[in-house]
Amino acid sequence: MSTSDNDRISYLAGEAVDALTPQERADLDDLRTLLQSPATWEEPDPALEDRIVSAIAEEARRERPVESPGAAVPAEPQAPRRRGFRWPFRRPALVLGGFATAAAAIVVAIVIATSGSSPAPLQFAMVVTGTPLAPGAHGSATLTKMDSGWEIQLSATGLPHLANGRYYQAWLKNAAGILVPVGTFNDAEHVILWSGAPVTQFRNFSVTEQLANGNPVSSGRRVLVGIAHPAR
């Protein structure tokens, strides 16, 4: 279950949830009020079973066709009388007594069903171009906010495959010049990277050539650059 689903369930449980939009809260307010009403969770009247049986018998009596005077009606075989009516399942009071559990399941189902109409995840996009070190390189990337971070899907051509201790390192940088590594790879044609830093603040993207020499800092040899913008 996603974070947004957990937020909806917490809101229905009466908690204050800032992550939901005003429209999402408004959509859930009626159900929230119903679940918070004590009447929703009350046990039914113990006499409910007798009233239901009486109502069924009365309805059957009313629907029985009226006999014409003097008409001969063949006698119907009489079924053996039972000593008292017994429900083939638990008493209604007990069945309805489990309403709390059923309601909880219904709430989860409603939340999951309505989550399909949730807004699309926040997404950025960018065009990446080669630097003087790789003038023929170009491509694009999409950056999507997920529960576990930002997923970066990069697709670029014009960069040679690196091996034997050489690799590419992708970075994001904010306005203060702070670099955050977002993944390493050998070929840029189809790469999935991850960032724990928010792309809303770290928009400058770059790829450097690195050497596996025990020094994790950027080599400064940038081969791809780009700037992320909100997707339209």
Neighbours of 37 (CB within 10 A): 10
- HSE-up of 81 (CA within 13 Å, CB side)? 2
Q: Which residue has the higher pLDDT, 176 or 40?
A: 176
For the full predicted model, state whether its pTM sits above 0.85. no
Average pLDDT (108-131) is 76
pLDDT above 70: percentage of residues in the chain: 71
Identify the three-state secondary structure at position 213.
coil
Give the C-alpha separation, 149 to 205, whole Å.
Answer: 16
Q: Which residue has the higher pLDDT, 74 or 224?
A: 224
pLDDT of residue 136: 95
pLDDT of residue 165: 94
Residue type, 8: R
Neighbours of 226 (CB within 10 A): 21
Angle at 202 between CA 201 and CA 203, to 5 degrees: 100
Residue 98 has pLDDT above 80, yes or no: no
pLDDT tens-digit profile of 211-231?
999 988 999 999 999 999 998
Average pLDDT (159-187) is 97
Give the C-alpha separation, 126 to 204, whole Å.
Answer: 10
pLDDT of residue 187: 96
Give the C-alpha separation, 124 to 141, whole Å.
Answer: 9
- Helical packing angle, 99-114 and 3-12, nearest 10°: 140
pLDDT of residue 89: 45
